[in-house]
Amino acid sequence: MKISEAESLVMEVLWRQHPLAAEEVVAALAEAQQWQEATVKTLLNRLLKKGAIDAEKEGRRYLYTPVLRREDWVLEESQGLLERLFNGRVAPLVAHFSQHRKLSRKDVAELRKLLEELDP
Amino acid sequence: MKISEAESLVMEVLWRQHPLAAEEVVAALAEAQQWQEATVKTLLNRLLKKGAIDAEKEGRRYLYTPVLRREDWVLEESQGLLERLFNGRVAPLVAHFSQHRKLSRKDVAELRKLLEELDP
DNA sequence: CAAGAACGATTACATCCGTAATCTCTCAGG
DNA sequence: CCTGAGAGATTACGGATGTAATCGTTCTTG
């Protein structure tokens, strides 16, 4: 499922909480993005058409719920990037970050822990 | 520097080897992509306009060379993704892959090695 | 009941992108 | 010299995207 940048911001709102009415999505986005209401509605419609979200009537409005799971989307996006840039492998990405000093102390700690717990 | 998907394929060719004439880029891409010559030339021009590559006259043709370094581009792209999906941190990405069983044995070995050598 | 407000639906429009075709200029060969 | 081939430059065009405005319809409230 292909989600554009702007659309993904709408999805993030719905992933955090759902179902939500358009108005609520607008409100949630108002701070970060300064989008007009119409803009958000367009994005909701496009997401609907793509099947990334679902709308169910509630009185005179719709409540929107994600269909696409963040989990899956994140995996798709990440794998896409890894394939394009790192031959599809994770370690080279981490190495790249390491070389550029982009690994925080916290990252290192978490990675160590993760690896310890792996494949015991 | 913003490089589109198609443009990045041209860049990859030039990163592998440069400087190259348009014809050579076309040839290099002929196998993977089946693009018309005109398409590749368009992409070269767009990259030129963006300043991602440079062209120097050699007789009646141009030889193209990357200006944007792959190194830098990769870092930008990766950080962009990390920020959008993982709060800008590396460890959560690795954890995500781990949970989805997308860490190969080789990845794990390399990561262990990398971490050992780090911060000794 | 009439008019405006609240919603979703439709339409708009510039830019980017993928993918080319065509135009123009210049050099080489007959 | 003239003409054609080859190279870059210009133009094309449909679909996606960002960003809205406007339309149409249905409650709501005076």
Q: Is the CB of A38 under 7 A from strand C?
A: yes
**HSE-up (13 A, CA, CB side) for residue A91:** 14
Helices A90-99 and A70-86, packing angle to 10 deg: 70
Residue A120: band (very low, low, confident or very high) from pLDDT cuts 50, 70, 90: low
For residues A41 and A27, the answer to whether their CB atoms sit within 8 Å is: no
Poorest-pLDDT segment among A16-25, A43-52, A111-120, B72-81: A111-120
Q: Is the CB of A72 under 7 A from strand C?
A: no
**In the predicted model, what is the mean pLDDT of residues B26-40?**
94
Residue B120, pLDDT score: 63
Residues contacting B3, CB < 8 A, separation 6+: B11, B47, B50, B52, B68, B73
Check if B5-66 and B70-117 are the same fold. Answer: no
Residues contacting A102, CB < 8 A, separation 6+: B75, B79, B90
Distance in Å from D8's C1' to B20's CA comes to: 15
For residues B67 and B51, the answer to whether their CB atoms sit within 8 Å is: yes
- Sign, CA torsion B27/B28/B31/B33: negative
Q: Where are the domains positioned within chain A?
A: 5-66, 70-117
CATH of B70-117, one of 1.10.4040, 1.20.1630, 2.60.40, 1.10.287: 1.10.4040
pLDDT for B87 beyond 70 = yes
Residue B31, pLDDT score: 87
Determine the Cα–Cα distance for residues B101 and B90; give it in Å rounded to an integer.
17
pLDDT for A97 beyond 90 = yes
Q: What is the mean pLDDT of chain B?
A: 95
Distance in Å from D24's C1' to A70's CA comes to: 35
For residues A25 and A63, the answer to whether their CB atoms sit within 8 Å is: no
A51 Ramachandran zone, left/alpha/beta (phi>0; psi -120 to 50): left
Residue B51, pLDDT score: 96
For residue range A28-82, what is the model confidence (pLDDT) as tens digits? Answer: 999 899 999 999 999 999 999 999 999 999 988 999 999 999 999 999 999 999 9
Residue A5, pLDDT score: 97
> Could you say which of B74, B93, B115 has the minimum Cβ distance to residue A85?
B74
Fold of B5-66: Arc Repressor Mutant, subunit A (1.10.10)
B119 Ramachandran zone, left/alpha/beta (phi>0; psi -120 to 50): left
pTM: 0.93
Nucleotide C26, nearest residue via CA and C1': B60
Which residue of B7, B74, B90 is the best one to mutate when testing the A interface, meaning the one whose CB has the most A CBs within 10 A? B90
List strand residue ranges (DSSP E) for chain A, in order: 20-21, 53-58, 61-66
For residue range A53-63, what is the model confidence (pLDDT) as tens digits? Answer: 999 999 889 99
